[in-house]
Amino acid sequence: MPSTPSQSLQSSTIGFLLVVTVAVAAGLCAIVFVLVPLLGGSSEVLRVIAITLLALPLYAVRAVPMAMMDREMSFGRVAAVEAADTIGFNLFALAAAVAGLGVFSLAGAVPFGAALGVCMAWSIQPSARRPSFHFAPVRRLIGFGSKVSVLGVLYLGRDLGFVTIIGAVAGAPVAGFYAMAKRLFSFPTALAAAVSRVTFPALSQSDEERPERTARIIAEIGFVCGLPLALVAGAVQPLIMVILGSEWLPAADIVLFGSLSLMLSAALASPINSFFLSEGRPNAAIVAIGLELTISFLLVAALLGSLDETGVGIAMSVGSLAAVAVLLATTHPTVRAGAAGVVQTSAIAFVAAAAGQLLPVSDDLVGLIASLLVVGAVWTVLAAIFARREMTQVAGMMRSLVSSWRAG
């Protein structure tokens, strides 16, 4: 493994990222809050975007300690930083929503969560703190790093774009339903982020075995995501009624029609993107996420008026399908072959979720328990018949993790 990056390289990296992100955030804020009002204009969508982009310099500051954690494969520390970010986001969003800030509650939650993430990263990971604006040490990394940064910005812009478009077209309540649907998908979303964190450094050290390892990861992650996605989708109405109340029921349509998007993102997009990055070829990943954003944003704007929340879910899934099609068309044949397992586990999850939806139960605690039991039973039976190999592999992996935990 190469030697630890020097303090000068770490400091120069922070400085370079700060220059870029501060310039972007300050430039947009100047346009939105100074230039546009001077010209007599106003745009709530632009204000939301500008507030969200205040998080960019904070992400720049924590980039080096996060990279060091990834390099050392200290994924427990990575999880702590992500948890701090998520907790901060939810706390701010909830408080701001109660205060009546509407869609701005979600926009302001992004920099607040990022700030808590910075504090956590600095407290648990030794790394350079002060930026250096001597860029010679990072010059050779700028080409690849800029493309990876573009990929990160596009991912950040995906949720932001959905929130702003939904808020502009259908109002803050529907934007809230979208945000709540994403929260109901917390497990596969967190799994996708964890997969990206783990697989990039792991695959970077795999060399000739990289395609085979990526294919195995795809099959295993697809299997692991199948059950929680089926449980949420199959029991979503009683789940929302019991936990959140009837006013949040419209979020169920986003969950039902957007489930495929989460499966594709977690099981296919994240590991294939990591495969491309580990090979130093981020262009395909950038094209894929760019196409996904274009298609999904256009669709959600077109479908909201006629299909409401259902249109949001459809836009999510169609956009993800387009992105995955690009990734599969450009990746290694061995990696592409691994996608067959995701098709199989997606079909199993679909049948199990459909069983829960067709079950004639009331939207109360009894109905929730009954739906979860039926979905879980159908999924287990089908997985034992059609995905026995993946079930055995995941079970063995879980036993190894438990043994390691007990030994530790």
Q: Is the pLDDT of residue 239 over 70?
A: yes
**Per-residue confidence (pLDDT) for residue 1, from 0 to 100:** 43
Task: Tell me the C-alpha to C-alpha distance, in Å, between residue 334 and each of 145, 192, 275, 365.
Answer: 27, 21, 12, 45
**Token pair 């632009």: residue:** 46
Residue ranges covered by each domain of the chain = 1-134, 143-402
The answer to whether the CB of 211 falls within 8 A of the CB of 332 is: yes
Q: Per-residue pLDDT for 335 more than 90?
A: yes
pLDDT value of residue 408: 46
pLDDT at 150: 74
> Taking 60 as the threshold, does the pLDDT of residue 407 lie above it?
no
pLDDT, one tens digit per residue, over 189-199 is: 676 666 666 67
Dist CA 366 CA 363 (whole Å): 8
Percentage of residues of the chain with pLDDT beyond 70: 89
Name the DSSP class of 133: -
pLDDT at 20 over 50: yes
Q: What is the pLDDT of residue 244?
A: 83
Q: 40-47 contacts: CB < 8 A, separation 24 or more?
A: 44/103, 44/167, 44/168, 45/164, 45/165, 45/167, 45/168, 47/104
Residue 175 has pLDDT above 90, yes or no: no
Q: With contact defined as beta carbons under 8 Å apart, do 178 and 163 qualify? A: yes
Asked if 50 and 103 count as a contact pair (C-beta separation under 8 A), the reply is: no
Rounded Cα–Cα distance for residues 389 and 291 (Å): 34
Q: Given this model, what pLDDT does residue 385 score? A: 93
Distances (CA, A) of 341 to 107, 184, 204, 385: 37, 24, 23, 14
Overall average pLDDT of the 54-75 stretch: 83
pLDDT over 60 (residue 223): yes
SS3 call for 364: coil
How crowded is residue 289: how many other Cβ atoms within 10 Å of its Cβ? 24
pLDDT of 374: 97
Averaged pLDDT, 89-117: 85
Long-range contacts of 201-205 (CB under 8 A, 24+ apart): 201/70, 201/71, 201/73, 202/73, 203/274, 203/275, 203/278, 204/278, 205/1
Q: Which of 74-78, 212-216, 356-360 has the lowest mean pLDDT?
A: 74-78
Using pLDDT thresholds of 50, 70 and 90, give the confidence band for residue 401.
low
DSSP percent split of the chain into helix, strand, coil, nearest 5 = 85, 0, 15
pLDDT at 144 over 70: no
